[in-house]
């Protein structure tokens, strides 16, 4: 089975800190995604990547950046964490969305910024 | 931005009852996925539908894709407490990413 692993289940960070969320997938998927999930707002796409060193902005990229130096790893970076970035962060990968493969999600990282 | 509207937003039923969840849009999708998410976990893919009018069954779950590929439904027969969770639909429009609905929170009481 495809596995998407997020490095932390829970994180507590202080306002202004630089935060790194790591995501690794083990099935050679081209596409990787970062979403945040908030009550009443659903899943919102932050960034996605089609290939190594490639990245595309999603719907809410402000305050975030990403890095994809290796195919299996997609990192989300909060340059200066703020309290409004407290959320559940979900990483996902997909073989080929255009052929209906769908996403495989990680278990999520619940980030609290204090 | 394509919007996917799910209804109902919340559903609480007794074990053994049947239910249907709807996912509607004005956009045409090349494929549509349904996911189930349990508290504290990531969503898990249940099914993908691709062809207009397609019906897929997964045990007690029946998924249907609308003829025009703009909407979908999920029907659960004889719901069980283990079906409790957040059900999400997601549509793909060849733009490289999927659009998610806001989800239906289902609670099945024993």
Average pLDDT, chain B: 93
* Cβ atoms of A55 and A32 closer than 8 Å: no
Domains identified in chain B, total number: 1
Q: Please tell me what DSSP assigns to residue A99.
A: G
Beta strands at A87-94 and A31-38: parallel, antiparallel or unpaired: antiparallel
- The CATH number for B85's domain is 2.60.40.10
Confidence of residue A101 (pLDDT cuts 50, 70, 90): confident
Q: What one-character DSSP code corresponds to residue B82?
A: G
Q: Which domains does chain A have, with CATH numbers?
A: 4-113 (2.60.40.10)
Say what the pLDDT of residue B56 is: 97
What average pLDDT does the segment A7-27 reach? 96
CB of A38 less than 8 A from some CB of B: no
Full domain range(s) for residue B41: 5-109
Q: How far apart are CA B110 and CA B104, in angstroms?
A: 19
The band of B1, judged by pLDDT with boundaries at 50, 70 and 90, is low
Q: How confident is the model over B78-102, as pLDDT tens digits?
A: 999 999 999 999 998 877 678 899 9
pLDDT of A100 higher than 90:
no
Give pLDDT, residue B2: 56
pLDDT at A98 over 90: no
B59-71 confidence digits (pLDDT tens): 999 999 999 999 9
- Return the residue of B nearest to A44 by Cα: B100
- Greatest alpha-carbon span in chain A: 42
Task: Please report the residues numbered 41 through 80 in chain A whose beta carbons come closer than 8 angstroms to any beta carbon of chain B.
Answer: 41-43, 45, 48, 50, 56, 58-59
Do residues A56 and A110 touch, judged by C-beta distance below 8 A?
Answer: no
Rg (CA), chain A: 13
């Amino acid at each position: 089975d495809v596995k998407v692993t997020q490095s932390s289940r829970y994180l507590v960070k202080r306002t202004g800190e630089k935060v790194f969320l790591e995501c690794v997938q083990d099935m050679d998927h081209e596409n990787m995604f970062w979403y945040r999930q908030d009550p009443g707002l659903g899943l919102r796409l932050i960034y996605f990547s089609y290939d190594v060193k490639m990245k595309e902005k999603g719907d809410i990229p402000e305050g975030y950046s990403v890095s994809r130096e290796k195919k299996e790893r997609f990192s989300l970076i909060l340059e200066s964490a703020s309290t409004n970035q407290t959320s559940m962060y979900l990483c996902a990968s997909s073989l080929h969305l255009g052929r209906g493969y769908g996403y495989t999600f990680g278990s999520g990282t619940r980030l609290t910024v204090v | 931005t394509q919007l996917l509207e799910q209804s109902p937003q919340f559903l609480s039923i007794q074990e053994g009852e049947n239910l249907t969840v709807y996912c509607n849009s004005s956009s045409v999708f090349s494929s549509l996925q349904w996911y189930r998410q349990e508290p504290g976990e990531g969503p898990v893919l249940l099914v993908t539908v691709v062809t207009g009018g397609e019906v897929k069954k997964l045990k007690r779950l029946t998924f249907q894709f609308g003829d025009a590929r703009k909407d979908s439904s999920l029907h659960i027969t004889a719901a069980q407490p283990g079906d409790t969770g957040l059900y999400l639909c997601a549509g793909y429009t060849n733009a490289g990413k999927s659009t998610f609905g806001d989800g239906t929170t289902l609670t099945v009481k024993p």
